[in-house]
């Protein structure tokens, strides 16, 4: 079987491509390398450098994929408030372009990686469930939910391709880009700890997330077209262990065996507590959906990070469109240093 993986040089996408290659599929990775690295592309996969907003039809028609896995996206949720046009162009317009190319090339199944950001703020104390009403709180979540709606409407109108939508959250693990100052808190903390710098916390660091080890997330995504009960369904995917950002910082100090200093920054507008139920995922994907304990996953990521040089900081991918409310610490990365209070 043939599969195209967009964003396949990125963190999760490269792991999905890796699983597909391991299982004997013919894989073409498509990535513009704006956030990924060509060395992430697994051995045995073909690579084409291209944007999801380019004319993809010659690539898709030449390869004739049976399945398309669409993971290309710019996933800095908080930053999306300040680059909304860039966000919508890369996420919503790009998805529409990839889906149309997949349809015209005859693909039978379209797998889309959405986000927990589609839910927005929780309305109850319970974890998010797939049937919950979604009210996204930022342009990134708005774009992801709009993509989901477009995929549903596309199949209703044209009758194909079948689809599976995943809503992952806070994915981490080996080969993650640890030099993007705007996203991936685990990577940000590890990079700063290794440089002997304080770990930045917005507010008091009591906001909680359930961090998700990449392998189980990628494995479920890769399996979707081959699981009948996953056809035309949406799934939360990820970890079940709620952890505060402050506790995460200390856990990273332990796995790196380094002292950590915390840097408290002004609170920003964000979802305070975001967690998902994975009952549906476990029912359909079984043992494949099982996550590993957070400190075990952090140990594996730390071992990888220690063996690889820290790359240069990843720049903001677009000129800031709306500066109001931009966290001062992010202005530092855009050339405007702002001092912050520090605490042990």
Cα–Cα distance between 274 and 141 in angstroms, integer?
13
């702002």: which residue's tokens? 338
H helical segments located in 57-204: 57-63, 84-88, 94-104, 139-158, 185-194
For 269: left if phi > 0, alpha if psi spans -120 to 50, otherwise beta; the answer is: beta
Annotated catalytic residue within 67, 119, 140, 213: 140
Judging by DSSP bridges, how do beta strands 208-210 and 273-274 pair with one another?
A: parallel
Burial class (CB in 10 A: 0-12, 13-18, 19+), 190: buried
Annotated catalytic residue 172: no
CA distance 60 to 105: 6
3-state per-residue secondary structure call for 71-84: CCCCCCCHHHHCCH
Counting other chains too, the contacts that 37-45 makes at CB distance below 8 Å and 24 or more residues apart are: 37/9, 37/177, 38/9, 40/8, 40/9, 40/10, 40/11, 40/14, 40/175, 41/8, 41/9, 41/14, 41/17, 42/14, 42/17, 42/18, 45/5, 45/8, 45/17, 45/20, 45/21
Compute how many other C-beta atoms are within 10 angstroms of the C-beta atom of residue 80: 26
Token pair 């660091």 is at which residue?
205
Structure tokens at 182: 């705007």
Q: Catalytic residues, which ones?
A: 140
């Amino acid at each position: 079987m043939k599969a195209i993986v967009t964003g396949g040089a990125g963190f999760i996408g490269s792991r999905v491509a890796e699983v597909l290659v391991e299982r004997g599929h013919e894989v073409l990775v498509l990535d513009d390398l704006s956030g990924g690295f060509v060395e992430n592309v697994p051995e045995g996969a073909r690579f084409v450098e291209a944007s999801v907003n380019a004319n993809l039809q010659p690539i898709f028609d030449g390869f004739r994929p049976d399945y398309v896995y669409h993971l290309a996206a710019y996933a800095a949720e908080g930053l999306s408030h300040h680059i909304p046009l860039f966000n919508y162009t890369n996420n919503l317009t790009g998805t529409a372009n990839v889906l149309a190319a997949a349809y015209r090339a005859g693909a039978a199944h379209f797998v889309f990686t959405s986000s927990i950001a589609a839910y927005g703020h929780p309305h109850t104390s319970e974890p998010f469930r797939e049937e919950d009403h979604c009210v996204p709180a930022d342009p990134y979540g708005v774009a992801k939910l709009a993509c989901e709606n477009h995929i549903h409407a596309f199949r209703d109108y044209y009758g194909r391709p079948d689809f599976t939508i995943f809503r992952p959250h806070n994915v981490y693990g080996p080969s993650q880009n640890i030099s993007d100052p705007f996203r991936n808190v685990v990577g940000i903390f590890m990079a700063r700890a290794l440089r002997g710098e304080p770990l930045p916390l917005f507010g008091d660091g009591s906001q909680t997330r359930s961090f998700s080890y990449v392998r189980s997330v990628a494995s479920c995504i890769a399996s979707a077209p081959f699981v009948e009960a996953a056809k035309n369904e949406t799934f939360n995917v990820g970890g079940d262990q709620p952890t505060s950002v402050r506790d995460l910082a200390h856990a990273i100090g332990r796995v790196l065996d380094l002292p950590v200093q915390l840097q408290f920054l002004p609170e920003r507008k964000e979802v305070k507590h975001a967690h998902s139920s994975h009952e549906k995922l476990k029912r359909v994907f079984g043992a494949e959906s099982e996550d590993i304990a957070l400190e075990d996953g952090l140990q594996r990521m730390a071992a990888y990070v220690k063996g690889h040089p820290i790359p240069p900081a990843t720049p903001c991918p677009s000129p800031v469109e709306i500066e109001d409310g931009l966290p001062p610490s992010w202005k530092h990365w855009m050339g405007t240093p702002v001092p912050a209070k520090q605490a042990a």
